[in-house]
């Protein structure tokens, strides 16, 4: 792919946490307007990669570019153009949802008219009407996730980094998020989407990247991954288990029953 069409790119990215390897010589590229799914078992490097793309983690070696800029050299410029939802969002829970989103909008430099319109539209879309005046501390995990998602897209980012963003969401809200990601992609927004729910990955993402031990194990469309695994007619779960070398569920259950 022509590097001029890339929104996200890493070259030989390596990250050690002390002696623990988080990412290993990882080269990864996502085109503008693409929705890319990150799959992998716990500890495979998904969250580390997303944090590296935002500049929250400094690599041990290698290069990270977002929107053509070196993340280590231009961290503030990158963060103005990127929306991020971590796996466990930390919100100012003493605020109401409206107060929190108003604060985020001010930090992002939105005008009064912009923030009022966008906050109102998002609260309606994600079914928080009537509850936006309650303090976040009283929200369920799913409601907190909705507020985090709203905060990540208020400023209309060019790149969206989502780490397990559907955790705790009801089916309707999950559907809204899926439709939102597709709508943003049509406007040129690039999304990197980490999830452990394989059906969602296939439904939302243009291409999938499977990580294992901090490396790219396999990459392609869902169909390309099926062909790579030699399972052209199988579900994505079977493909994932075969490519990652994980024992089948039946084998694990049998072993546990012995």
Domain carrying residue 41: 3-90+155-220
Whether 86 is in a domain gets the answer: yes
| Residue labelled with tokens 């998904």 | 46
Whether 55 is in a domain gets the answer: yes
Helix (H/G/I), strand (E/B), else coil: 52: helix
Strand ranges in the chain using DSSP code E only, listed in sequence order: 6-17, 20-31, 35-39, 61-66, 69-70, 82-85, 159-163, 190-194, 207-212, 215-220
**What is the rounded CA–CA span in Å between residue 21 and residue 242?**
23
Q: Is the CB of residue 192 less than 8 Å from the CB of residue 51?
A: no
CA 39 to chain centre: 10
Residue 12: the pLDDT is: 96
Residue 49: the pLDDT is: 96
Whether 196 is in a domain gets the answer: yes
Whether 62 is in a domain gets the answer: yes
Whether 133 is in a domain gets the answer: no
Give pLDDT tens digits along the chain (258 positions).
444 589 999 999 999 999 999 999 999 999 999 999 999 888 899 999 999 999 999 999 999 999 999 999 999 999 899 999 998 888 999 999 999 999 999 999 999 999 999 999 999 888 889 999 999 999 988 889 899 999 999 999 999 999 988 877 888 888 888 888 988 999 999 999 998 777 788 888 999 999 999 999 999 998 888 888 787 777 777 777 888 876 554 554 444 344
Whether 21 is in a domain gets the answer: yes
Q: 10 Å Cβ neighbour count for 61?
A: 12
Pairing of strands 69-70, 215-220: unpaired
**What is the rounded CA–CA span in Å between residue 63 and residue 55?**
11
**What is the rounded CA–CA span in Å between residue 195 and residue 185?**
18
**What is the rounded CA–CA span in Å between residue 32 and residue 192?**
11
Residue 233: the pLDDT is: 72
The residues, any chain, with a CB within 8 Å of residue 180's CB and separated by 6 or more, are 125, 153
Whether 234 is in a domain gets the answer: no
**What is the rounded CA–CA span in Å between residue 92 and residue 225?**
41
Structurally, how many domains does the chain consist of?
1
CA 45 to chain centre: 13
Whether 240 is in a domain gets the answer: no
* DSSP 8-state code for residue 246: P
**What is the rounded CA–CA span in Å between residue 15 and residue 51?**
11
Here the CATH number for the domain that contains residue 71 is 3.40.50.300
Residue 252: the pLDDT is: 40
């Amino acid at each position: 792919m022509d590097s001029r069409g890339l929104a996200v790119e890493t070259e030989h990215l390596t990250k050690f946490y002390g002696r623990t390897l988080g990412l290993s010589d990882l080269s990864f590229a996502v085109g503008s307007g693409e929705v890319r799914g990150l799959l992998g078992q716990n500890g495979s490097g998904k969250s580390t990669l997303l944090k590296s793309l935002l500049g929250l983690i400094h690599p041990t070696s290698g290069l990270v570019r977002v929107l053509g800029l070196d993340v280590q050299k231009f961290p503030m410029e990158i963060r103005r153009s990127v929306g991020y939802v971590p796996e466990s969002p930390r919100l100012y829970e003493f605020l109401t949802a409206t107060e929190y989103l108003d604060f985020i909008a001010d930090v992002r430099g939105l005008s009064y008219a912009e923030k009022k319109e966008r906050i109102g539209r998002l609260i309606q879309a994600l079914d928080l009407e009537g509850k936006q005046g309650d303090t976040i501390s009283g929200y369920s995990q799913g409601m907190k996730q909705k507020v985090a998602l709203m905060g990540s897209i208020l400023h209309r980012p060019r790149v969206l980094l989502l780490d397990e963003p559907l955790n705790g969401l009801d089916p309707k809200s999950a559907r809204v998020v899926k439709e939102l990601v597709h709508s943003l992609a049509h406007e040129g927004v690039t999304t990197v989407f980490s999830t452990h729910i394989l059906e969602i990955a296939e439904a939302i993402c243009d291409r999938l990247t499977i990580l294992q031990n901090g490396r790219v194990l396999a990459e392609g469309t869902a169909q390309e991954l099926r062909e790579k695994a030699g399972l052209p007619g199988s579900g994505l779960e079977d493909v994932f288990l075969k490519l990652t070398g994980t024992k089948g569920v039946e084998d694990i259950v049998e072993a546990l029953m012995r």
